Structure 1
C-alpha cells in the first residue's frame, strides 16, 4: 500500500510542462574570496585552542553569507577560518564568534552521529572536478562526523577516515581545530595544488546556516560552487601502509524452545583478523580485510515482511562502507535505486567472509575507478569431531569455535566481484560503466545433509551497466539514467521459478533501464520525469538489489514553492504527482494508475511537516500468486498520510506520523480501512545524555491475500488486516566524544488474523478478478501470532586515533511459533515470549591501527 513520501521525492507529468513553465532566473552565486593556506614548520597540537604562532600568521577568511533562512543576508555572527599545512597534514582552524556563548548548543554524540547542535563543516574538493568532495564536521561539543560528497549534492555518510578534531567554548564564542592527514585525501601529483574549499556554520538557537559562498536550499548545487583554495605547494601524497589487526572473543548462551524439549548451551568462540590500507599513488588506495569481524555492528531493525518483494537493509560493516559511494548507481537514494548492481549485504549473506580487497581512486583527470573482490567461505561441522571445544579448520583458519556452532551443510565458496569506471568528460557531464559477478568456486555444496534438510542449490550471475549524468552548471536542470543487463549462471537445468511465473534458466539474459530528469533546482517551479523498465528475465540479485521485475513505470511530479522564506513559512513546497505502471511481458498488463497531492514545508517554529493524499486504481499484482504467472486484481484505494517533526534542536523533540487508507468494495471483498500511527520522543536533558522512545502501530491492508490451493486446484484467498506494535528504546551516554555507551531495546509483536476465506478457479485469460472470488469454509487457517525482542548494548572507546575497543552485549529472543485459528484470536501483546528460543552474546573486541 502507499506510504509516506518524504522530502526529496519528485516526479513530472510531462517533459513539455518542464519546458513550458518559465523558470525563474536563478540568483547567481556571489563570487567568493579565495581560501589560502600557509605552510607551518612546526606540528600543530590539536586541542581546540588556536594559540600556536602559526595560526596568528595564517590568512583569515571571513567572507561568509547567510544561506538559510534568508539567502544572501549578512550573518548574525562573524566566522573566521584559517588554514595551515605541512608535509603530512592539513590543519583548519575556525573561530565561531558568538555574543551569547552561554547559549551555544554543544551536545555530545557518537562518532559519525552529531546531534542537533552548533557545528561547522569543512568540505574539500581535492580533484577540483566540481562534483566530488570530502566532508569533515565537528560540533561545539567535539563530536566528529565525516562523509563523501558525490554528484555535486549527494552525501554518503558511509565513508570513514582517520582524522582529529577538538572544540573549545570561549568567552567570544567557540573554536574548532581539525587535523586531516593528507594520506586520507586523493589528489593529483602536482607542484601547485588546485582544490575547491567550502566552510559551513550552523547556529542552533537561530537555525541560521552561513556558508563561505551562498548556497540556498533550492539550489541543487554544492561542490560546483566551492571557492578556490590556494597556497598548497610542494605537497605530496604520503605513501604508506596502515595495518589494523584485531582480536575478538565472544561467549554465546542459547536455548531452544522449552515446549519442544529445549536444551541450553554455552559456546565460546574467538577470531583474529587484519584490515590494511595502502596508498599506491597520490590518489589511488588499496584496502583489504582478512576474516573481518562485524561484532560491533548494531542489530538490524525487527520487522515482519508480508509483501511480495525483498526488504532493503543498509550496510553497516566498516570494510564495505569505505568508498561504497563509488559503487552506487547514479541518482541512488539511501544507497539504492530501482536497479542496484552491487548490494554489499549480499556478500557474506550465506556464509562468512574469508577476505576481501578493494581498489579505489583516480587514474587520470576526472576518471575514477573502483574494484572490489571478496571470497566467502564456510566450514561444515565434521561428523566424527567432538561437538564441544575449539577446533581449527582450513576452511576458516582464523575462526576458532566448537563443532556445535557450525552448520551441517554449507554452500560452495563464492567469489564476489564488482568493478566501476566513472569519467567526468566535462563539468556536470559524467559517464560510467559497471560490472558485477557472483561466481561459485565449486559446483557442489559441502557437508553431510540429513534427509529433511532443504536442497543446496549452486547459483550465480553476472551483470553490467552503463550510466550517465548531465546537468547544467548551476545544477537547476539535470538528467541521469542507466541501462543494464544480467545473465544467470548455475542453478541446474530446471531453472529458478520467480514469483511472477518467469522461469530463469542458466544463460538467460535480462535487460533494464531507468531515466530521471527535469528541473530539479531553483524556485518557484520544479518538475521531474522518471521512467523505469525491468524485463521479465532481469535478475540483478546475484550481486545487487532488484525488488521487482517484469514491470515498467512512468511517474511525474510538479512542485511549486520556495526553499527560502515564503510568507510565514521558512520553506514550503506544494506538488502534484501522477504515475502509471505496466508489465513488460507480452501481455503488457496495466499494473497501477495513481494521482496524489504533496505538501512539504518548514513551519514558523521550525517544525517540519509533510502530507501526501492520493488515489490508486487499475491495480494488478503479478507476484501475489507465486509461480503461476497469473495477474491478481487488487482493490482501488485512497489514502492520506501526514507527519510532523518538531524542532530537533530543542531539548525535547517529538515526531508524529499518521496514515489512513480505504479500499473500495469489489466482489465479496467489503472494502476496509487501514491505518498506521507512529510517535517518537527524543529527550536530551544534558549534553551527555540522550533518550529516544519510539512507538508504532500498524493495521494496514490490501484486500484478500493468497493463502494456498484446494485439493481440486482452486486458488484460496482470505481477508487479512495484520496488526503490528513496535516499541523501541534507545539510551545514549557520552562520557567523552571518544568514549560512548549506547543501549537499544526493541520489542515487536504482531497478529495476523485471516478470514473470511474465498476460492477462485484459475481463469483462462490469466487474470484473477475480485468478483470471481466465492466464499468457502473448512479450509486451513494460516493466522499467526509473533513476538520478538532484541537487546543491543555497545560500549565504544577510541583509545587511540583509529584504534578502538568494543564491549557488546546482545540478546535475541522469540516467542514459540503460533499458527492457526487459535493464534488469530489472541490479543496483540506477547504470548509466552519467555518460553521461546533465545540467545545471549557477550563480545569483546580490540583493534589497533598503526
Structure 2
C-alpha cells in the first residue's frame, strides 16, 4: 500500500499546520436572469438566453491541492422562469479527447467528469438538494441534511443533458420549481453551489472555498440572487401504475397476478407537501444481500423502496451513527411481512425555522387455503387487498394482523447553532389476532408499541465542533398477558416502559487534532422495534476516538492516525462488564484518489447476555486480537479493484483450528466501454467466536457446541446502458457454506449466573448433530426505460433458490453449493408501467 507507510512518520507529520479561516473568505454570488424563451435541454448552451446570462467563473480547488488554482476554467450561468430553474455549466478542457464520459444507471454515476449543482432554496444553511450530470449524460440526485449529511436515495423528476465538443464539455439542467421549497418574497435569495469533478486529474473544483478539514457544506454556499416575482408552485403529480406478474414456486402451478396503484404528490403550501401511495409495488427493487449472521443481533438492511426514500430524512437521529442504533422509524418494518395497503406522508416547513414530517401506513394481507385443502385457482375480491388480483393458491397460508404505523417528527432551529426536535411513533394492530408463536398463550393480543424521542444538536459556526443528544422512551402494547422473554432473560409484559439515552460530540473538523466521544444507554425494557431499529438492549457504551489528521501533507491529500477505545457494560443494575475494546487506526488518501486504511486492536473482558436465549445468564466470551486492512484503487480507471482482509485470534482457549477467524473480500469493476460495466466480488467468512449455545433444559442445563463456520460468496453485477434513459442491469449472488460442531459442552446455570469458559464440561454428542450446510442463489434482471420524463417501464425477472434439506442425511462439509439445483426455487416475471400525469 504505497503511501500507508508514511503514516508511521507521526512526529514530522503531526506538526501543526496553518489554521484555516473558520468563516471562509467573502465571495461574490451568482446572478440569475429571467427568460421568456425556455432553453432546450440538450447540453449545448447555444440559445441567446445563455449568452445574455451573467457568468460565474471563480472556482477553487479542494482536491487534491486545497486552495490551488484550477487547471481548467469553468463557467456557470443561471436562468429561470415561472416554473423552472435552468443551470448551464461550461467545462473547458485542454484535452477534450481525454474527457471521461461513461454511461451509468440513473443515480449510479460511474467515476467520470461530473457537475453537481446544489440548491438551498430555504436558505436555512442546513439543508439542500443536489442535481448531478456527468459528461455522458447520466443523472443523479440527492438531499443534504444537517449541513453535511447526504442522502443519495432521494429522487426528483428533472431534466439534464451534456455535450462534448472541441472546447471541453457542457451540462444543462432544468430543475422544476415544485422540487424546491421557498417562501413568498419579492426577491428570492437562495444558497447555491456548483462542484466540478475532473476524472483525469482527480481535481474537485468548488464555486466557494471548501477546505476539506472543515465539517461544513451547505452553510458555506454562496448566494443565488435576482430571482424576482417567483411564486411557489402548487402543482400536483399523479403517477398511476399497472403491474402484471407471473410466479412459479418450484414445479407448482403458475401464479399469475395483477396490481394497480397510484402515487400522488401535491404541494399544499410553498413549503409543505403531501405524498400519497395506494397499493404500491416495489417489484423492481433489488433483493437484499445474502448473509450469514452468527449473532443474536438483528442485521440492518438499507431501505430501497422509492416511497420511503423521499422526505423522511427528518426522522434520522442527530447523534453520531457510531453508537448503537435507537432509531424511532425503520421503514423496513412496513410492507415486508405484510403487503403495504397504502400510505400517506406530509413533510416540509410550517415556519421559517420549524420543519415537520408525518407518515401513516397500513399493512394488511389475506390468507389462502391450507396446504391440505384442494388447490384454489379462483380469483375473488380481497377486502384487505382490493387492488390485487390473483388465484387463491398464491396467497400465504397465514398472515399476521393488519397494522397501522404512525410516526411524526418536529424539528426547530432555535438559533444558527442549535436544533431541537421531538418525534413519536406507534404500531397499532387493527385486529386482536396474535402472532403464530404466541397464539396458544393465555390472554394474548396482537403486539404493538409506542415510542417517543427528544433530541438536540449544537454546531459551531465552522461546523468543527458538534454536540448532539437523544432521549428515547417506549411502551409495550399487546402480546401474551404473562409477557415474553427477551434473549437476555428480561420479561417484557404489556404496559412495560423503557428508556434510552445517546450523547455524541467532539471536534470533527480542523487540523491536526480531532476528537469524537459518545455515550449510549439502552435500558433492559426499551423496545423501539415495533416501528424502529434497536439491535441491542440492556447495554451501556462509552467510546472515545482521538485522531491526528493532516490535509495535503508531503504530497498526500489526506493522512490520519487515531485511537478508538470503548467500554461496554450492562444497564440492568448489575453493571456487568461486557467488553473493553482498543484499536489503533490509520488511513491515507493518495493523489490519484485511491485510498487505504488499517487497524489493529484487542477486545477483552467480554461477556454475552444474549447467547443463552431467555436464560438470563451471562456467558464469558474469549478475548481476541484482531487486525484489518482495506485498499481501493483509482475508481476512474477502466479496471478498479478493492480488497478487505480481516483476521482475529481468540485468546484464553485451547489452541485449535477454530481459534482463528478470517474475513476476506476481493472485488473489481471493469468498464471496457462507456456503455458496459461488470463488477465481480468474492468473499470468504470464518466467524469463529468460541462455544455457541445449542439448547437449555427446564432444570437450567445449558448445552454448547464448538462451531466451525465457513462461507463463501460470489456476486456479479452487469450493467448495459443503451442510453441515459434505457438500462439493463443483472445481479446474481451465490452464497454457500457450512457449520460443523467439533466438540460439545454443558453447564448448569441459574438465572443471573455468570458462566465462564472454564465452567464448560466437555460431553459426548447426544441426539441429532446440529451441523448444517446451506446454499442459496438470487438472480435479478431489470430493464428500466424512462420513456417520458417521470414515466417508466420496468421488465423484471427474479429467481431465488435454496439448497435441498435432507433430514437425517449426513451433512456435507463443503463450500460447494451441493443440493442447490435440487432445492426449492421461485421464478417471477413482472412488467410494470407507470405514467406521470
TM-score for the superposition, normalised by structure 1: 0.93
Measured in 2, the distance between the counterparts of 1:697 and 1:820 equals 28
1:633 to 2:620 alignment: yes
Rate the CA distance shift 1:331–1:650 in 2: closer, same or farther, 3 A.
farther
Q: CA deviation at 1:264?
A: 2.1
Measured in 2, the distance between the counterparts of 1:429 and 1:307 equals 39
2:341 alignment partner, one of 348, 351, 354: 354
Answer whether contact 1:352 1:378 (CA < 8 A) is retained: yes
Answer whether contact 1:730 1:742 (CA < 8 A) is retained: yes
- Which deviates further from its counterpart, 211-220 or 709-718? 709-718
Measured in 2, the distance between the counterparts of 1:435 and 1:711 equals 40
For 1:25, the equivalent position in structure 2 comes to 19
Answer whether contact 2:525 2:538 (CA < 8 A) is retained: yes
2:681 alignment partner, one of 657, 674, 694: 694
Answer whether contact 2:438 2:480 (CA < 8 A) is retained: no
List aligned pairs for 1:608-687, cutoff 5 A: 608-666=595-653, 672-687=659-674
Measured in 2, the distance between the counterparts of 1:26 and 1:495 equals 58
Q: CA deviation at 1:822?
A: 2.6
Q: CA deviation at 1:712?
A: 6.3
Measured in 2, the distance between the counterparts of 1:491 and 1:138 equals 51
Answer whether contact 2:320 2:504 (CA < 8 A) is retained: no
- Over residues 140-191 of structure 1, what are the superposed CA-to-partner deviations in whole Å (9 max), with x where a residue is unaligned? 0011111110010000112111000000001101000000000111111212
Helix, strand or coil at the partner of 1:320: helix
List aligned pairs for 1:238-387, cutoff 5 A: 238-255=233-250, 263-331=251-319, 333=321, 338-381=325-368, 387=376
Measured in 2, the distance between the counterparts of 1:758 and 1:527 equals 44
Answer whether contact 1:422 1:431 (CA < 8 A) is retained: yes
Mind listing any 5+ residue stretches in structure 2 that lack a counterpart? 5-14
- Which deviates further from its counterpart, 714-723 or 632-641? 714-723
Answer whether contact 1:331 1:337 (CA < 8 A) is retained: no
Answer whether contact 2:653 2:659 (CA < 8 A) is retained: no
Measured in 1, the distance between the counterparts of 2:750 and 2:374 equals 56
For 2:526, the equivalent position in structure 1 comes to 538
- Which deviates further from its counterpart, 658-667 or 71-80? 658-667
Measured in 1, the distance between the counterparts of 2:17 and 2:127 equals 27
Helix, strand or coil at the partner of 1:722: strand
Measured in 2, the distance between the counterparts of 1:229 and 1:194 equals 6
1:201 alignment partner, one of 183, 196, 201: 196
1:778 alignment partner, one of 760, 765, 783: 765
Measured in 2, the distance between the counterparts of 1:332 and 1:462 equals 24
Rate the CA distance shift 1:708–1:337 in 2: closer, same or farther, 3 A.
closer
List aligned pairs for 1:450-461, cutoff 5 A: 458-461=446-449
1:417 to 2:406 alignment: yes
For 2:561, the equivalent position in structure 1 comes to 574
1:753 to 2:740 alignment: yes
Answer whether contact 2:245 2:831 (CA < 8 A) is retained: yes
For 1:259, the equivalent position in structure 2 comes to none
Answer whether contact 1:411 1:456 (CA < 8 A) is retained: no
Measured in 2, the distance between the counterparts of 1:117 and 1:764 equals 59
Q: CA deviation at 1:826?
A: 2.4
Measured in 2, the distance between the counterparts of 1:807 and 1:445 equals 38
Measured in 2, the distance between the counterparts of 1:498 and 1:445 equals 18
Answer whether contact 2:744 2:765 (CA < 8 A) is retained: no
For 1:721, the equivalent position in structure 2 comes to 708
Answer whether contact 1:131 1:428 (CA < 8 A) is retained: no
Q: CA deviation at 1:444?
A: 2.6
- Over residues 31-66 of structure 1, what are the superposed CA-to-partner deviations in whole Å (9 max), with x where a residue is unaligned? 211111000011221110101111111010001011
For 1:432, the equivalent position in structure 2 comes to 421
For 2:754, the equivalent position in structure 1 comes to 767
Rate the CA distance shift 1:717–1:607 in 2: closer, same or farther, 3 A.
same
1:397 to 2:397 alignment: no
1:51 to 2:46 alignment: yes
- Over residues 57-88 of structure 1, what are the superposed CA-to-partner deviations in whole Å (9 max), with x where a residue is unaligned? 10100010111111111111000000000000
Q: CA deviation at 1:382?
A: 5.5
TM-score for the superposition, normalised by structure 2: 0.95
2:489 alignment partner, one of 468, 476, 501: 501
Measured in 1, the distance between the counterparts of 2:18 and 2:145 equals 26
Helix, strand or coil at the partner of 1:218: coil
Q: CA deviation at 1:619?
A: 0.3
1:478 alignment partner, one of 445, 466, 470: 466
Mind listing any 5+ residue stretches in structure 1 that lack a counterpart? 1-6, 8-20, 256-262
Measured in 1, the distance between the counterparts of 2:439 and 2:400 equals 17
2:693 alignment partner, one of 677, 697, 706: 706
For 1:258, the equivalent position in structure 2 comes to none
Helix, strand or coil at the partner of 1:43: coil
Q: CA deviation at 1:327?
A: 1.6
- Over residues 500-548 of structure 1, what are the superposed CA-to-partner deviations in whole Å (9 max), with x where a residue is unaligned? 1111111111000111100000111110110001000000000000000
Q: CA deviation at 1:604?
A: 4.4
Measured in 2, the distance between the counterparts of 1:493 and 1:369 equals 36
Answer whether contact 2:700 2:750 (CA < 8 A) is retained: no
Answer whether contact 1:159 1:324 (CA < 8 A) is retained: no
Rate the CA distance shift 1:696–1:819 in 2: closer, same or farther, 3 A.
farther
Measured in 2, the distance between the counterparts of 1:420 and 1:379 equals 32
Measured in 1, the distance between the counterparts of 2:319 and 2:751 equals 42
For 1:114, the equivalent position in structure 2 comes to 109
Helix, strand or coil at the partner of 2:304: coil
2:230 alignment partner, one of 229, 235, 239: 235
Helix, strand or coil at the partner of 2:213: helix
Rate the CA distance shift 1:843–1:113 in 2: closer, same or farther, 3 A.
same
Q: CA deviation at 1:765?
A: 5.7
Measured in 2, the distance between the counterparts of 1:153 and 1:450 equals 45
Answer whether contact 1:578 1:595 (CA < 8 A) is retained: yes
1:100 alignment partner, one of 92, 95, 101: 95
The RMSD of aligned alpha carbons is 2.3
1:41 alignment partner, one of 13, 36, 41: 36
Rate the CA distance shift 1:157–1:758 in 2: closer, same or farther, 3 A.
same
List aligned pairs for 1:121-132, cutoff 5 A: 121-132=116-127
Measured in 1, the distance between the counterparts of 2:700 and 2:191 equals 68
Helix, strand or coil at the partner of 2:77: strand
Helix, strand or coil at the partner of 1:319: helix
Measured in 1, the distance between the counterparts of 2:416 and 2:348 equals 19
Helix, strand or coil at the partner of 2:260: strand
Aligned residues: 820
Q: CA deviation at 1:419?
A: 0.2
Helix, strand or coil at the partner of 1:561: strand
Helix, strand or coil at the partner of 1:461: strand
Helix, strand or coil at the partner of 2:381: strand
- Over residues 672-698 of structure 1, what are the superposed CA-to-partner deviations in whole Å (9 max), with x where a residue is unaligned? 111111100100011110000000001
For 2:12, the equivalent position in structure 1 comes to none
Helix, strand or coil at the partner of 2:386: strand
For 1:744, the equivalent position in structure 2 comes to 731
1:155 to 2:143 alignment: no
1:809 to 2:797 alignment: yes
Answer whether contact 1:616 1:637 (CA < 8 A) is retained: yes
1:515 to 2:519 alignment: no
- Over residues 592-627 of structure 1, what are the superposed CA-to-partner deviations in whole Å (9 max), with x where a residue is unaligned? 101100011113443210111100010001000000
Measured in 2, the distance between the counterparts of 1:451 and 1:344 equals 26
- Over residues 774-827 of structure 1, what are the superposed CA-to-partner deviations in whole Å (9 max), with x where a residue is unaligned? 11003232111000011100000000110000000010001012577931x521
For 1:62, the equivalent position in structure 2 comes to 57
